[in-house]
């Protein structure tokens, strides 16, 4: 097992474009989390899944953001009509229920 | 929601010194983890420690759940220990998300 994998590692996009990020969790993990981190801050929760069900969404997750985990394996996070304020590191983590969470390398988004 | 406070916010040490990082939390927790964020942004797991004491080489951690705090000890610090250390918790009986503190930025000088 290679751990949690995120792609792409870096993304530069123009304001107004849509972007999609992918997260492949550790294979046996049923929980998958998305976080966002801006410079100098701790990671902020966006949403999490248990298997394919999205169980909680943060108020940070505006209607421009959507996340899916269609078969309970990998997940995608899409941001529509990107804004400069969306520039951040997007982190994915996975775990078994109630157990230790492991993070991927993150996707760094820059909106120009 | 639960509040997680880390102290100090910044710490500068000479190589070889010891340090203690603190994490206070405002509610009972089921899960507490310590992470080290490397220069590329990845969060590296240090300890999963909802209670008790654990040691891993030069690092050790203690969580006193009844008093709602955790401590991370770094002994004989090395320049490679530099970076940001985060504490994160999951509350009992509430949301299952990890809530992070703002971190402690550690700089170890040669």
**Paired sense of beta strands A10-13 and A107-111, if any:** parallel
Of the partner residues B40, B48, B103, the one whose CB lies closest to the CB of residue A105: B40
Tens digit of each residue's pLDDT (9 = 90 or more) over A48-81: 999 999 999 998 788 999 999 998 899 999 999 9
Q: What is the CA radius of gyration of chain B?
A: 13
Q: Answer yes or no: are the C-beta atoms of B86 and B6 closer than 8 Å.
A: yes
Mean pLDDT on A94-105 = 94
Express each pLDDT in A15-34 by its tens digit.
Answer: 999 999 999 999 999 999 99
Would the CB atoms of A108 and B41 count as touching at under 8 Å?
Answer: yes
Distance CA A83, CA A99 (A): 35
Examine the pLDDT at A1 and tell me if it is beyond 70.
no
With H, G, I as helix, E, B as strand and everything else as coil, classify residue B103: coil
User: Which pLDDT does position A60 carry in this prediction?
Assistant: 79
Q: How confident is the model at residue A112 (pLDDT cuts 50, 70, 90)?
A: very high
pLDDT value of residue B70: 98
- Distance linking the first and last C-alpha atoms of chain B: 40
Interfacial residues of B (vs A; Cβ cutoff 8 Å)? 30-31, 33, 35, 40-43, 45, 48, 86, 88, 95-103
Candidates B95, B90, B35, B96; CA nearest to B61 is: B35
How far is it, in rounded angstroms, from Cα B4 to Cα B101?
5
Taking 50 as the pLDDT cut, the residues of chain B under it are: none
Q: What is the mean pLDDT of chain A?
A: 95
CA angle B28, B31, B34 (to 5 degrees): 115
Q: Do the Cβ atoms of B100 and A91 come within 8 Å?
A: no
Nearest Cα neighbor of B72 from B24, B1, B40 is: B24
């Amino acid at each position: 097992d290679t751990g949690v994998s995120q792609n792409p590692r870096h993304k530069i996009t123009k304001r107004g474009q849509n972007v999609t990020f992918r997260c492949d969790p550790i294979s046996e993990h049923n929980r998958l989390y998305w976080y966002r981190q801006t410079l100098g801050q701790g990671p902020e929760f966006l949403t999490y899944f248990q298997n394919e069900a999205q169980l909680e969404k943060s108020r940070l997750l505006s209607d421009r953001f959507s996340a899916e985990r269609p078969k309970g394996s990998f997940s995608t996070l899409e941001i529509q009509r990107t804004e400069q304020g969306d520039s951040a590191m997007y982190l994915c983590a996975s775990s078994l229920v109630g157990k230790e969470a492991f993070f991927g390398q993150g996707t760094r988004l820059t909106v120009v | 929601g639960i509040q997680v406070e880390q102290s100090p916010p910044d710490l500068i040490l000479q190589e070889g010194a010891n340090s203690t990082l603190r994490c206070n939390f405002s509610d009972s927790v089921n899960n507490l983890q310590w992470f080290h964020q490397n220069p590329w942004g990845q969060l590296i797991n240090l300890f999963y420690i909802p209670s008790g004491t654990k040691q891993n080489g030069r690092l050790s951690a203690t969580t006193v759940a009844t008093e709602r705090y955790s401590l991370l000890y770094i002994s004989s610090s090395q320049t490679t220990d530099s970076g940001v250390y985060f504490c994160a918790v999951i509350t009992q009986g509430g949301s299952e998300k990890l809530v992070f503190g703002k971190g402690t930025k550690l700089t170890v000088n040669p």
